[in-house]
Structure 1
Amino acid sequence: MKFTHDVIVIGGGAGGLVAAGGCALFGLKVALIEGHKMGGECLNNGCVPSKALITAARRAAEAREEKRMGVTLAAPKVEWAGVHQHIHDAIAEIAPHDSEERFEEMGCEVIRDWAKLTGKHSVEVGGRTLTAPRIVIATGSEPFVPPIRGLDNVPYLTNENIFDLTKQPEHLVIIGGGVIGMEMAQSFCRLGSQVTVIEPDRPMSRDDEDSVAVVIEVIEREGVRFVKGLAQKVEGSADGVAVHVDNGETITGSHLLVAVGRKARVSGYGLEELGIELGRNGIAVDARRRTSIKSIYAVGDCREGPRLTHVSGYEGSNVALEITLGLPTKVDWEALPWCTYTEPEVAQIGLTESEARKKFGERVTVVKEGFDHNERAIAEGDTKGHMKVIFKGKKVIGASIVGKNAGELLLPLSQTITGKASTFALGSAVISYPTRSEITKAVAFAAWEPTVFGAIPKKWAGSLAKLRRIFA
């Protein structure tokens, strides 16, 4: 069969861009197809705009503590037009990294249209039929909208349109206490909106419970109200929208944000017609990210599995290596990290304490170190939070950190989980003083302390001391 390309990539988000760019840099002829915006979810309505909003909100929060550490600040004056502009300036500044022009310079043929798979080696797009030995699907995900009565009859926000608001909400009601819900709740509250979060379970339920408790305490103190219950019905009201909760309460607000999770974007691409197996929420793939048709891969949010930008990039890189060099590359989630950018941040890698105890029982030990013993944190006047490291024997199998810049502290723990470093090496490392990263050394040292200062080392040290006294 004569092919038009070596690789066809459908989707210009994190996974698709890494896969397409990687293959092109190896000299392959690549077609990169994107029917909407280059950069996908992360650039346009995910990581970039949310972190820009969070940063603006942090600035307001800092100013709200007018006198602190002997320094008095003016109370914040929030101009929503300026916040909106900051968000979209951040998107515009990063957009060239993901642009059509950049990937054309790499050697990709970029096609801005919607694609449909027509065979295990063929794709229709813009009236053309493209063919290639390998196809990569990277179509991403979209907000899951739950079947709540009346929701279709009222205007509501998701992460896809909340960053386009030109007017600040007076009262933002959020259905869902996951990552998006919690980040938006704190940010809008700090900027001056009234915020209510409706969540039937524990907020941020996939994270360590002790770490989440620290965040909830901070966010509640800042003014966010949490309502435990399930949203059953939504209707318009004089104030904007009313949400009826199964606990009997009715919450009214000016705006409604639905943030209850994501669903894979798989409809309209010809997958079912082609017989590609679908799972509960996404394309079914093996460890190499191959679909049920082995010449077709699926990476990122469109397949079943974790939905994180860095995961999409990792999978795109793996697939690019497999296609270009013939190296079978399997995903490994043993040291999967993620971070929620509330303040304080919550960062997790590997197993949580509850997951580890469920899996390994009494073989699990936990070492916990508070930032109230970290001298940089004390000097900064921000000692909220802790680091909790989960061990099976001397092997790290998970860690949870809550505190300022928690996500920045995950790297050495990733290396220890994957065996590229040891806790003994971390515990004996020389670390710049004063830094928050010293907490990692403190936890690692604490794990080895019973061994280092155990009976045998003490006996040896005593013997040496006696000998020195005799022969001095």
Structure 2
Amino acid sequence: MSERLTPDVCVVGGGSAGLVVAAGAAQLGLEVVLVERALMGGDCLNFGCVPSKALIAAAKAAQAQRSGGAFGIAPVEPRVDFPRVMDHVAETIAAIAPNDSVERFEKLGVRVLKEEARFVGRAEIQAGPHRIASKRIVLATGSRAALPPIPGLADTPHFTNETIFANRTLPTHLLIIGGGPIGIEMAQAFRRLGSQVTVLEAATFLPKDDQELAAIVVARLRKEGVDLRGSVKIDRIERSSDGVVAVLGDGTRVAGSHLLVAAGRSPVTESLDLDKAGIAHTKHGITVDASLRTSNRNVWAIGDCNGLYAFTHMAGYEASLFIRSALFRVPAKLDAAIVPWATYSDPELAHVGLSELAAREKHGDGIRVLRWKFAENDRAQAERATDGLVKVVTDARGRILGAAIAGPQAGELIQPWCLAISKRLKISALAGFVPPYPTLGEAGKRAAGSYFTETLFGPRMRGLVRFLARLPVW
């Protein structure tokens, strides 16, 4: 028999976005039902951020054994036990999983249903034997790897991010379709673990990033032996006796033992019956307004399923906007200007705000572009990590418009710039603080300080200082 539930909030999807809403609403004393048909923790915990960073950490450890020569430590080729590497990945997931578990959320007071959800009305959902009616329904169903329409691909064995971390055989030659963040991260990781790697990209590598900085990452991967082929057309994918073959538009045949598809994401919405609830949507995601509300005023869509920003940190941010606007009734709108992202290659690549190109399109030639190379940073020199630079864009009055970093720990170093942009600070705020020495963070301060170099050490200031020097000491 069908059980009818009438919670204050119904959340569909137990990934990053849905879990933040469910935990927040329950801790505020509301009755919450969470519907999740698969794994709690969603893509990030099980197939995305967590396992990929665990794999990257193992690859970094392997690369460190090859890179000791400059420090006076004899380099050696590491002996990689790939099944043990994948045990490390699984152990990392298992260590974090309790935070996202059914048990934890039930202790918070959330009713968790392990069912598939579909709309049966504007504010009603069927989840297995449960009929759920709620004035506030939050869709947080995430996304999955998109398969490009390449002939033969669907019929050829291939990995996506959802399957590659279950693989326990090190690929001899890994072909990767897609040169975005996932493709680049996995290419470097598998190369460092001992695979031959070829990346096939239809356009530009890391296309959403500042290409001046993306080129630094691309150069490092090529130096490490990754075969990066940009602006290529794949005519078809074929099976071979020992793996897979990508046939390119010019007739070139690229053979590999395994294939990874990392060519974008698609929202997971097909089983929801959105039309029955009057919810507008496209192939790119569920249509939402600035407060993340859908065309149905009882339904919000947050996280990857709305097609805006496929980042875990954005899922959490969007969840907080729902809590503010829908539960506290405080106006809250998504601010695209504060959205950061990072690619965890080596060197890392991180970005927040406007790129130089976007800033020029919006503000014309009145912008200032500031750069500071890690080669001029003492800590980077000590650690032999001098590839990269900090790049900052300001308007004519010194307001920070955007920042990008290619270099060691860029994902950490971008954070003061995230704060600066979210608080609409001027460049003087980043130029005026005192960082400890020697740290990589000094590179950001030096980049900010370069904004004032011409004014501070120009002819007018030099003349003023000479005049003041002639006056009696005071």
Distance, in Å, in 1 between the alignment partners of 2:465 and 2:429 is 22
Please point out which of 189, 202, 205 is paired with 2:204: 202
1:276 paired to 2:279: yes
* Aligned residue runs from structure 1 range 319-468, under 5 A: 319-393=322-396, 394-419=398-423, 421-454=425-458, 457-468=461-472
Matching residue's letter, 2:133: T
Q: Which residue of 2 aligns with 1:95?
A: 97
Q: Answer yes or no: is 1:170 the counterpart of 2:136.
A: no
Q: Deviations over 1:440-471 (max 9, x none)?
A: 110111112233345554454344323226xx
Unpaired runs of at least 5, structure 2: none
**Could you tell me whether the CA contact under 8 Å between 2:375 and 2:387 is conserved in 1?**
yes
TM-score when scaled to structure 2? 0.96
Contact preservation (8 Å) 2:5, 2:131: no
Partner secondary structure for residue 154 of structure 2 = helix
1:294 paired residue number: 297
Tell me, in whole angstroms, the C-alpha distance in 2 between the residues paired with 1:417 and 1:457. Answer: 30
Q: What residue identity is the alignment partner of 1:271?
A: L
Deviations 1:31-86 (A, max 9, x none): 01100000000000000000000011111111123533112354310011111100
Q: Which residue of 1 aligns with 2:254?
A: 251
| 1:307 aligned partner | 310
Give 3-state SS (helix, strand or coil) of 1:163's partner: helix
Amino acid at match of 1:85: D
**For residue 240 of structure 1, what is the aligned residue in structure 2?**
243
CA 1:355/1:247 → structure 2, altered by over 3 Å: closer, same or farther? Answer: farther
Query: Identity percentage over the alignment?
Result: 42
Q: Which amino acid aligns with 2:261?
A: V
SS in 2 for 1:467: coil
How far the C-alpha of 1:255 sits from its partner, in A, is: 0.4
> Please, what TM-score do these two structures have when normalized by structure 1?
0.96
Contact 1:3 1:133 in 2 (8 A): no
SS of the equivalent of 2:161 reads coil
- Residue in 2 that maps onto 1:53: 55
Question: Alignment partner of 2:319: what SS?
Answer: helix
Q: Give the aligned partner of residue 116 of structure 1.
A: 118
Aligned Cα root-mean-square deviation (Å): 1.6
User: Matches of 1:90 and 1:375 in 2, distance apart?
Assistant: 34
CA distance, structure 2, for counterparts of residue 304 and residue 261 of structure 1: 11
> Counterparts of 2:245 and 2:345 in 1: how far apart (Å)?
27
Query: 2:399 touches 2:424 (CA, 8 Å); kept in 1?
Result: no
Secondary structure in 2 aligned to 1:334?
helix
What is the deviation of 1:321?
2.1
Q: How far, CA to CA, are the matches of 1:256 and 1:107 in structure 2?
A: 43
Q: 1:109 to 1:88 in 2, by over 3 A?
A: same
User: Gapped runs of 5+ residues in structure 1?
Assistant: none
**For residues 423 and 229 of structure 2, what CA distance do their matches in structure 1 show?**
43
Aligned-pair distance for 1:221? 1.1
Distance 1:152 1:280 in 2: 19
1:280 deviates by 4.4
Rounded to whole Å, the distance in 1 between the matches of 2:227 and 2:314 is 32
State the 1:341 CA deviation.
0.4
Q: Distance in 2 between matches of 1:247 and 1:407?
A: 38
Which residue does 2:134 correspond to in 1? Answer: 132
Deviates more, 1:406-415 or 1:295-304: 406-415
Moved more, 449-458 or 156-165: 449-458
CA contact (8 A) 1:175 1:258 kept: yes
Alpha-carbon offset, residue 227 of structure 1 = 2.1
2:222 is equivalent to residue 220 of structure 1: yes
The letter for the 1-side match of 2:291 is R
1:20 offset after TM fit, Å?
0.9
Is it true that 1:260 corresponds to 2:274 in the alignment?
no
Q: Structure 2: how far apart are the matches of 1:420 and 1:3?
A: 45
SS in 1 for 2:295: coil
SS in structure 2 opposite 1:327? coil
